[in-house]
Amino acid sequence: MDENANLSQAERALERQREVPASGGAGAAGVSARETPPKTGRRVRTYTADISAVGEPALWAFGGALALGIILIAGFLAMIAWNGFTTFWPKPIAQVELRDGTTIAGEPTRGGTYRPGESVLAQLNDQQRAEIEAELGFAERTLYKTANFDIYGDDFRWVSDFEVAEITYPADMHLFQRQQWGDFVGRVAGLVIAGEEVPFDYDLMQREQSEARRRFNEIRNIERNEIGALNHYIERERLNIRRAELRHGAESERGAELIAQSRERIAEYQAQFADLQARVNEIRANDRNYRVTLEEVNGETRETELSQIVRFYPANDLTTLDKTGIYFSRWWEFVSTEPREANTQGGVLPAIFGTVAMTLLMVIFVAPFGVITALYLREYAKQGRITSIVRISVNNLAGVPSIVYGVFGLGFFAYAMGGTIDQLFYPEALPNPTFGKGGILWASLTLALLTVPVVIVASEEALAAVPRSMREGSLACGASKWQTIRYVVLPKAMPGIMTGMILAMARGAGEVAPLMLVGVVKLAPALPIDGFYPFIHLDRSFMHLGFHIFDVGFQSRNSEAGKPMVFVTTLLLLALIVTMNATAITVRNRLKRKYAGSQF
Amino acid sequence: MSVATADPNTRTFDPTVYHVKKSAEGVALDIKDFNLWYGHAQALHGINMEIQKGEVTALIGPSGCGKSTLLRCLNRMNDLIDELSIDGSIMVDDFDIYGPGVDVIALRKRMGMVFQKPNPFAMSIYDNVVYPLRVDGITRKSILDETCERALRSAALWDEVKDRLKESALGMSGGQQQRLCIARGIASDPEVLLMDEPCSALDPIATAKIEDLIADLKGHYTIVIVTHNMQQAARVSDNTGFMYLGRLIEYGHTDTIFTNPKKKQTLDYVTGRFG
Ligand SMILES: Nc1ncnc2c1ncn2[C@@H]1O[C@H](COP(=O)(O)OP(=O)(O)OP(=O)(O)O)[C@@H](O)[C@H]1O
Ligand SMILES: [Mg+2]
């Protein structure tokens, strides 16, 4: 062993000698001493040593792994950002004349190569077939968003390049975003303003359309808020009647009195209801005097109220400034309005609201629960076998699949706890469940349960990192154990605890699977916070961006139409999570800075 | 725990040499036959020692001999350590601090402590100093302000920090932190002040100030100070105890210990010929 080592050293020295014959004094001592006179001192670093001994290959591997990770993440973010940010940019509308004489119009969305089947090839002429054969049987095609779902029964159409005779971009082609039926691609065939036909004028139509939208919003406002409030009150009185029956009995004097009161009030509300309805009808009748006739590229027409048009623009006749305006107005619509058309159009405001509310609620639940548990485990419990078992179990909880928590949340929180609450406090609403179904309260509790191991582990570590000398200092001042924890240990551990909370928040905000069982819905009729007493309705189901992505992209009638929305929503969800985390991190860093400083 | 009854003079092993006259009067802390084990390792062997009221008592001895351990026993700081067992008693005003039913928190409130390593809390300088008052439930700002200034002045720190009382204490230098801990130790006006090498992180000027402080406090407070600095022990203390390997070898008037010790070990140690 020793001899071998010596030998190889000598060999290496020789080799070095051979490689750098002119290096003179730089050569090593020993065997080569005959040719180069030995210098004083020995060279310590040699670069001909086995390179694995130097550790350089490992360095490359580590660096490479890191680089790969960064590239993957950056690529993923870039893809989402690119797709997300470009979705709302107005695209031109191509009018395509096909060789078979038909015409289509639409936004080219994406292209691709494919191999046409035998039956397709058979219908082509020789020249086309030769072209395809030159490409080894492959042909190019483009997917056009033709819109006009109500006419074509589909929103998209593939067009192969060999089918195309001519592509033009006529300036009078418009894109209309409609309240219902999705987009319409075509021209304006007729305009009725105040009941009279007028010739089409873009600016006039723009003005009248904004006016019509104002009417539309007014109607919706009345229906939503005022009539909605009336419905709410009537429902409340109905429940009051039911409660009176349950408590006092319908025959008893008190019961009869209460029921009569409620009936009276219901009658009052119904009168108001009729008034509002009349007002709505009036506006609606007026609204019907403003109509527009849309004509698709082949001349088929659809007439609709102007108020049904959310937005329209001449897609091929826009300056960059116009496009920018449209771009931002669509973003604004996206983040500030409710979804339309089975979530594939419109905005995601309720989903943003639901996500934020649920996450905050979860933090409110998980923070005290996790911190108290960690405090007990670390500060009070006797450190022994049982505490280690508890600790290991807590750690393992973090590995339970999240859907399991969903099942637990539904079974325990919603059905068992919620069912009991309903029986005790909301018997009048039964058999309709109030808390005995999925809702934002149960969802955030389920997520709190899911994320509590993270908080416990991080808090425990933070508590353990508080030096013993600090605790001793406090106790020596005559502080009790609780005072020591409250004033010395917790403040010092706070940044670490916050880190745990941030991790929990990030995990909770991105979780979807369990939520589907405990309260997330495709379309929530009302937000969990509104103007009706008691203002915060923890029993309500809610919308969530994560579920929205799943629903829009994969559950809607036309998943191709939803695809761009998937990216936009993903982008928004990421931005939301980053914002929430950044806020928490800022708070933590402020805390940290407050107590910053070195020990010496 | 047995209350020590053995007369030190009759014991055959480890005859400690006592120069301090035993007296019922003026004894702040009476340590009787005190033994202590960390697990199975005995760290203190049969300590008998009377700490005089209003005087400064120094504990000297080589590293690891148990000075800190003994000091920490006086305010039951060692309670935090698992697997600790003790035997013997420490009497304060006729009650055994290790006896049943002792209010440890009340006991600690009577004693201030300065640790070997500075241990300020993660709060502002001001809050650090008034911490003992705060945990006592004192919230009157005038009292807190006054105490803070008095304690910081005593600890020779006031001039350096009077403009940054609201800043974090962890941003101070090691020596400043140590003086802050001294200020904290005297803020609640304790009867007994326990100091474990309070000057080990201080420069000569600050050390001199702390020694002045000790001289000022003498008479009002009973002070027990652990130090490795012979000159310091000689300068500030009235009585000195020399410890070696968990035993109190010699305990007496500082003059006697440093000039005319009865034991060779003590002589060797105080003259630096320790081998
Ligand atoms: N928490 C502990 N657990 C176990 N053994 C301990 C513990 N603290 C101290 N010891 C042991 O008790 C003995 C006395 O320690 P102590 O800290 O009292 O020494 P010291 O005289 O203060 O030394 P120094 O001058 O270096 O501070 C040492 O042998 C030490 O290893
Ligand atoms: Mg020590």
Name the nearest CA neighbour of A593 among B260, B171, B59: B171
The minimum-distance atom of ligand 1 relative to the CA of B83 is: 3
Contact status of A22 with chain B (Cβ, < 8 Å): no
Which residues in chain A have their CB less than 8 angstroms from residue B177's CB?
Answer: 599
Distance B88 CA to ligand 1 centre (A): 19
Residue A324 belongs to some domain of the structure: no
Ligand 1 binding pocket (C-beta < 6 A) is B 38, 43, 63-69, 81, 116
Looking at B81-165, list the stretches that DSSP marks H as alpha helix, in order from N- to C-terminal side.
104-109, 125-129, 131-135, 141-154, 158-161
Which of B37, B40, B45, B68 has the most ligand 1 atoms within 8 A of CB, as the residue to mutate?
B68
The end-to-end CA distance of chain A, in Å, is 49
Question: What pLDDT, on a 0 to 100 scale, did the predictor assign at position A1?
Answer: 41
The alpha-carbon radius of gyration of chain A (Å, integer) is 36
> In sequence order, what E strands does chain B have?
17-18, 27-38, 41-52, 56-60, 84-92, 95-96, 111-114, 192-196, 222-226, 239-244, 247-253
The end-to-end CA distance of chain B, in Å, is 36
Tokens, residue B180: 């802050």
CATH number where A412 lies: 1.10.3720.10
Residue A334 belongs to some domain of the structure: no
How would you label A332-352 residue by residue, b for 16+ Cβ within 10 Å and e otherwise? ebbeeebbbbbbbbbbbbbbb
Distance B242 CA to ligand 1 centre (A): 16
Question: What pLDDT, on a 0 to 100 scale, did the predictor assign at position A565?
Answer: 83
Contact status of B115 with chain A (Cβ, < 8 Å): yes
Report whether A470 contacts A492 (CB < 8 A). yes
Question: What is the DSSP secondary-structure string of A451-469?
Answer: HHHHHHHHHHHHHHTS-HH
The minimum-distance atom of ligand 1 relative to the CA of B61 is: 21
Contact A477 B135 (CB under 8 A): yes
Name the nearest CA neighbour of B116 among B168, B165, B59, B158: B59
Residues A180 and A201 in one domain: no
Write phi, then psi, for A256 (nearest 5 degrees): -60, -40
> Which residue's entry shows tokens 């359309």?
A209
CATH number where A151 lies: 2.30.30
Residues A457 and A535 in one domain: yes
Go through chain A and tell me how many residues it has.
600
**Paired sense of beta strands A309-314 and A174-178, if any:** antiparallel
Report whether B222 contacts B112 (CB < 8 A). no
Question: What is the DSSP secondary-structure string of A541-589?
Answer: -B--HHHHHHHHHHTSS-HHHHHHHHHHHHHHHHHHHHHHHHHHHHHHH
- The four Cα atoms A162, A167, A173, A176 give a dihedral, to 10 degrees, of 30
Pairwise CA distance, residues B80 & A472, whole Å: 8
Burial of A292 (0-12, 13-18, 19+ CB in 10 A): buried
Residues A393 and A521 in one domain: yes
Residues A150 and A107 in one domain: yes
Shortest distance, CA A588 to any CA of chain B (angstroms)? 15
Tokens, residue B263: 């034991």
Name the nearest CA neighbour of A141 among A156, A119, A154: A156
Residues A151 and A262 in one domain: no
Contact status of A487 with chain B (Cβ, < 8 Å): yes
SS (H, E, C) A263-307: HHHHHHHHHHHHHHHHHHHHHHHHHCCCEEEEECCCCCEEEEEHH
Which residues in chain A have their CB less than 8 angstroms from residue B196's CB?
Answer: none
Q: Which are the contacts of A237, defined by CB distance < 8 A and separation ≥ 6?
A: A262, A263, A265, A266, A269
pLDDT at B29 over 70: yes
- The four Cα atoms A559, A562, A563, A568 give a dihedral, to 10 degrees, of -160
Residue A306 belongs to some domain of the structure: no
Which of B35, B65, B226 has the most ligand 1 atoms within 8 A of CB, as the residue to mutate?
B65
Report how many domains make up chain A: 4
Looking at A465-525, list the stretches that DSSP marks H as alpha helix, in order from N- to C-terminal side.
468-476, 481-483, 490-509, 515-518
Residues A457 and A420 in one domain: yes
Question: What pLDDT, on a 0 to 100 scale, did the predictor assign at position A254?
Answer: 80
Closest ligand relative to B43 C-alpha: 1
Contact status of A600 with chain B (Cβ, < 8 Å): yes
Mean pLDDT per block of 10 residues along chain A (600 residues) reads 47 50 42 53 61 68 91 93 89 89 88 83 79 82 88 86 87 88 87 86 87 88 82 84 80 81 87 87 88 88 88 88 92 86 78 89 91 91 88 86 90 86 78 80 91 91 90 90 90 88 85 87 77 75 87 75 83 88 86 57
Of B106, B113, B169, the CB nearest to A476: B113
pLDDT at B24 over 70: no
Domain end among A121, A155, A187: A187
Tokens, residue A248: 């006092």
Residue A326 belongs to some domain of the structure: no
If you count DSSP H runs as helices and E runs as strands, how many of each does chain B have, helices first? 11, 11
The minimum-distance atom of ligand 1 relative to the CA of B39 is: 4
Nearest protein Cα to ligand 1, atom 9 = B69
Domain ranges of chain B: 25-270
Question: What pLDDT, on a 0 to 100 scale, did the predictor assign at position A462?
Answer: 92
Contact A487 B168 (CB under 8 A): no
Residue A320 belongs to some domain of the structure: no
Nearest protein Cα to ligand 1, atom 28 = B64
pLDDT at B164 over 70: yes
Question: What pLDDT, on a 0 to 100 scale, did the predictor assign at position A62?
Answer: 87
Contact A599 B174 (CB under 8 A): yes
Contact B109 A472 (CB under 8 A): no
Report whether A164 contacts A96 (CB < 8 A). yes
User: Domain B25-270 falls in which CATH fold?
Assistant: Rossmann fold (3.40.50)
Distance B87 CA to ligand 2 centre (A): 21
For chains A and B, what is the number of CB pairs under 8 angstroms?
91
Nearest protein Cα to ligand 1, atom 22 = B68
Which residues in chain A have their CB less than 8 angstroms from residue B139's CB?
Answer: none
Shortest distance, CA A497 to any CA of chain B (angstroms)? 15
Residues A407 and A539 in one domain: yes
The CB density around residue A34, as the number of other CB atoms within 10 Å, is 9
pLDDT at B268 over 80: yes
Residue A150 belongs to some domain of the structure: yes
Percent of chain B with pLDDT over 90: 22
ipTM confidence? 0.86
Where does residue A24 fall: left (phi above 0), alpha (psi -120 to 50 degrees), or beta otherwise?
A: left
Residues A416 and A487 in one domain: yes
Contact status of A18 with chain B (Cβ, < 8 Å): no
Q: Which are the contacts of B68, defined by CB distance < 8 A and separation ≥ 6?
A: B116, B196, B226
The alpha-carbon radius of gyration of chain B (Å, integer) is 19
Contact B171 A467 (CB under 8 A): no
Distance B210 CA to ligand 2 centre (A): 19
Residue A317 belongs to some domain of the structure: no
**Paired sense of beta strands B17-18 and B247-253, if any:** parallel
Question: What pLDDT, on a 0 to 100 scale, did the predictor assign at position B19?
Answer: 57
- What chain B residue is nearest to A481 in terms of C-alpha separation? B105
Shortest distance, CA A490 to any CA of chain B (angstroms)? 10
From chain A residues 374-403, the ones with a CB under 8 A of any chain B CB are: 383
Supply the range of the domain harboring residue A41.
2-53
The CB density around residue B245, as the number of other CB atoms within 10 Å, is 14
Residues A149 and A244 in one domain: no
Question: What pLDDT, on a 0 to 100 scale, did the predictor assign at position A44?
Answer: 60
Residues A239 and A368 in one domain: no
Residues A409 and A279 in one domain: no
Contact status of A470 with chain B (Cβ, < 8 Å): yes
Residue A577 belongs to some domain of the structure: no
**Single pTM value for the model:** 0.76
Contact status of A471 with chain B (Cβ, < 8 Å): yes
Residues A400 and A419 in one domain: yes
Question: What pLDDT, on a 0 to 100 scale, did the predictor assign at position B213?
Answer: 83
Contact status of B198 with chain A (Cβ, < 8 Å): no
Contact B108 A599 (CB under 8 A): no
Report whether A155 contacts A144 (CB < 8 A). no
Which residues in chain A have their CB less than 8 angstroms from residue B121's CB?
Answer: 470, 473-474, 487-488, 491-492
